[in-house]
């Protein structure tokens, strides 16, 4: 009789959901900083005390200043990214469908993509005015290029077999685009939106730093100029929350629209 048990060699290489781990890491880090600043191990000039940042956030919310800064920022982000993303999806689909548009626009998009859009802000100020217009334009252009690239990639990845099937049943061109190409490209477009919105938030802050009375970017800039680390970090926390919130919202939309992926 054989008597050595065969050792187990499989398993692993498959990420699993571990609830609470992320929050635990976050809390541990906060605790370390709090402890370090209280014992003097971390100097007050290096990092602010988390409890002070929390207190500043509390003051901000109580005094109503939070909303005078957050609301203009949110509306800039919303208007700018809606403009950029809808134009990006439209152009991306056209590139995916028509060879001439692809040949003409793909090099152009590749040329625009790596430009730090913030460098163009002075130009946008001349074109669209010092007010909201230039900020909308900056965020729109910043979200436009990654959306275009994600969208035409997603259209390219739609199963050609499904399109042949549509043709073989005599479906019209528009029916094929609407019922086969667009739903098939949706997962890729949505995951591109995550990147686009993150870039949108970065550009929002950059634009507000360069010229705005209210807004999270302006608030952070003022705090930085006074070396008020508590307020600076309070602003940064708000931005992080904004990022987590948009990512969560896209996750919800994906769950809603992509039930069929299981």
Partner 1 sequence: MELAVRGLTHRYGDMVVLDDVSLHIPAGEILCVVGPSGCGKSTLLRMLGGLEQPDWGEVLQGGTPPEGCLNPLTYVFQDFALLPWRSVAGNISLVLEDHHLPGDRVRAIIEDVLARTRLSDFHDALPRQLSGGMKQRVAIARALAVNPAVMLLDEPLSALDAQTRELLMEDLVALWERQPFTGVYVTHNLAEAVRLGHRIAVLSRRPGRVREVIEVPGALSERQAGDAGLEAIQAHLWALMRDEAMAADQELLDA
Residues that bind partner 1 in the complex, under the rule CB under 8 A? 159, 161-162, 164-172, 175, 179-180, 183-184, 258-262
CB of 94 to partner 1, least distance (A): 22
Contact criterion met (CB below 8 Å) for 135 and 74: no
63 or 157, CB closer to partner 1?
Answer: 157
Cα dihedral 186/189/190/194 (nearest 10): 170
113 or 173, CB closer to partner 1?
Answer: 173
CB of 257 to partner 1, least distance (A): 9
**Cβ density class 66-102: b for 16+ within 10 Å, e for less:** beebbebbeebbeebbebbbebbbebbbbbbeeeeee
CB of 159 to partner 1, least distance (A): 8
CB of 229 to partner 1, least distance (A): 50
CB of 121 to partner 1, least distance (A): 41
């Amino acid at each position: 009789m054989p008597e050595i048990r065969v050792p187990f060699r499989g398993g692993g290489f498959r990420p699993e959901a571990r609830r609470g781990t992320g929050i635990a890491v976050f809390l541990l880090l906060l605790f370390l900083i709090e402890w370090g600043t209280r014992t003097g191990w971390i100097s007050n000039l290096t990092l602010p005390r988390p409890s002070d940042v929390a207190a500043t956030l509390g003051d901000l919310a109580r005094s109503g200043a939070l909303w005078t800064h957050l609301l203009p920022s949110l509306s800039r982000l919303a208007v700018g990214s809606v403009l950029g993303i809808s134009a990006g999806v439209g152009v991306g689909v056209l590139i995916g469908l028509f060879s001439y548009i692809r040949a003409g626009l793909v090099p152009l998009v590749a040329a625009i993509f790596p430009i730090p859009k913030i460098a163009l802000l002075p130009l946008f100020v001349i074109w669209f005015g010092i007010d909201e217009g230039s900020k909308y334009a900056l965020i729109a252009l910043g979200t436009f290029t990654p959306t275009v690239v994600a969208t035409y990639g997603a259209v390219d990845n739609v199963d050609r077999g499904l399109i042949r099937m549509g043709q073989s049943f005599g479906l019209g061109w528009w029916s094929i685009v609407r019922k086969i190409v667009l739903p098939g490209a949706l997962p890729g477009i949505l995951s591109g939106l995550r990147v686009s919105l993150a870039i949108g938030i970065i550009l929002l802050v950059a634009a507000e730093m360069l010229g705005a009375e209210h807004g999270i970017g302006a608030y952070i800039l003022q705090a930085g100029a006074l070396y008020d680390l508590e307020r600076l970090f309070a602003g940064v926390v708000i931005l992080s929350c904004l990022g987590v919130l948009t990512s969560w919202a896209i996750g919800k939309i994906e769950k809603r629209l992509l039930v069929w992926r299981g």
